[in-house]
């Protein structure tokens, strides 16, 4: 009897645990590839950068997440919460633009529909006609939501169809923690991404020459097919404030805060940065500059050390690591294969170690 009661209680305990496990509230954040510090900086791995100064400067930033890389090598320079699920706001339009750039329809005519003209924070008029290529400048520079909606309608007939194209492309790019429901980025609980995923999109988009040319413009004049000339100004304030800015896209909503995906090239170096949820939103420019300054300092130091290592390796086959008394020369193989190894090593003792 006691055994039956015990088994009965155990069964109920298992059922109760299952209910609790299934009903436990899920944290609204994408899981990353493994544990990672809240703020990471490659400078922390290099003794040339005192860790206390790196930490102090980066901890002052309001951004909830960022991801910064050396665009030429893919090396991560700095990150904070790169896998936290967040709203992308108008950084979404990078996906809209790249799908249009790859469509093969850039010279075709887009007519602004009633639905596109009614999208909040848009400035296109119903019935206006644009070449698709010109309309993309309106999408990417002033971040016109109505223009983005019109591009989606043009490429896929409706918003639902275009969202599928966006999500298929995201999956192709390995953006595993991203889901889109619209072409412009206005808030929706099912419209989300991460800083790491956005970087995958930035890297892919910037390899497209048409996309890269569009986002590199601080200003641009376009003309509708009705003959109306429109002056467009880029919302990316890095243009004019930070030398070498070459793109890419801002994003701002109350839910997303201030977001900025950007790219800077100078002195033979190139850095990409995705910054998310700055508060207040206008801080995204200043905080991006802080990160870029740190990033270029790191790359300059890394490149200097790389050159030193190259010079050190070109010394008749001998290399000194800078460790002082420790001889770290590689032992070359004897050319005469008949020479006994012990005899060969004895001869090497008479070869002086070279210092640099």
Instruction: Name the residues annotated as catalytic.
Output: 90, 93, 143
**Nearest of 276, 299, 229 to residue 77 by alpha carbon:** 299
Q: Which residues contact 287 (CB under 8 A, 6 or more apart)?
A: 61, 62, 63, 275, 278
Q: Which long-range contacts (CB under 8 A, 24 or more apart) does 74-77 make?
A: 74/203, 75/42, 76/40, 76/42, 77/41, 77/42, 77/271, 77/294, 77/295, 77/298, 77/299
**Nearest of 211, 213, 170 to residue 193 by alpha carbon:** 170
Residues in the chain, overall count: 356
Helices (H), 24-71: 51-59
Residue 285 to residues 61, 280, 288, 289, 306: CA-CA distances in angstroms?
Answer: 11, 11, 5, 6, 31
Q: DSSP character for 217?
A: -
Cα of 216 vs its chain's centroid, Å: 17
Instruction: Return d(Cα 209, Cα 102) in angstroms, integer.
Output: 11
Q: Which residues contact 267 (CB under 8 A, 6 or more apart)?
A: 296, 300
Instruction: Return d(Cα 97, Cα 74) in angstroms, integer.
Output: 23
Q: DSSP character for 171?
A: H
Which pair of structure tokens corresponds to residue 232? 């467009």
């Amino acid at each position: 009897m006691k055994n039956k009661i015990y088994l009965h209680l155990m069964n109920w305990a298992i059922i109760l645990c299952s209910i609790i496990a299934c009903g436990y509230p899920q944290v609204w954040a994408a899981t990353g590839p493994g544990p990672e510090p809240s703020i990471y900086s490659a400078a922390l791995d290099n003794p040339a950068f005192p860790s206390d100064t790196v930490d102090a400067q980066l901890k002052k930033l309001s951004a909830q997440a960022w991801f910064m890389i050396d665009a030429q090598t893919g090396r991560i320079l700095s990150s904070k919460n790169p896998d936290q699920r967040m709203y992308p706001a108008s950084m979404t339009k990078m996906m809209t633009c790249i799908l249009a750039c790859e469509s093969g329809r850039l010279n075709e005519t887009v007519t602004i529909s009633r639905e596109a003209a009614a999208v909040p924070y848009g400035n296109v008029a119903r019935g206006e006609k644009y070449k698709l290529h010109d309309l993309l400048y309106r999408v990417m520079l002033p971040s016109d939501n109505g223009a983005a909606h019109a591009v989606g309608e043009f490429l896929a007939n409706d918003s639902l169809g275009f969202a599928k194209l966006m999500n298929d492309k995201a999956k192709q790019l390995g953006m595993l923690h991203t889901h889109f429901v619209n072409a412009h980025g206005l808030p929706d609980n099912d419209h989300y991404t991460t800083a790491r995923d956005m970087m995958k999109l930035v890297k892919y988009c910037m390899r497209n020459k048409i996309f890269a040319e569009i986002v590199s413009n601080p200003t641009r004049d376009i003309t509708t097919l009705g003959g109306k000339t429109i002056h467009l100004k880029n919302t990316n304030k890095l243009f004019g404030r930070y030398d070498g800015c070459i793109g890419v896209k801002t994003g701002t909503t109350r839910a997303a805060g201030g977001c900025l995906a950007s790219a800077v090239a100078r002195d033979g170096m190139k850095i990409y940065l995705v910054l998310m949820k700055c508060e207040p939103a206008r801080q995204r420019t200043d905080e991006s500059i802080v990160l870029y300054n740190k990033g270029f300092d790191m790359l300059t130091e890394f490149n200097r050390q790389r050159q030193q290592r190259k010079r050190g390796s070109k010394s008749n086959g001998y290399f000194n690591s800078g460790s002082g008394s420790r001889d770290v020369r590689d032992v070359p193989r004897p050319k005469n294969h008949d020479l006994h190894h012990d005899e060969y090593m004895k001869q090497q003792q008479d070869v002086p170690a070279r210092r640099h």
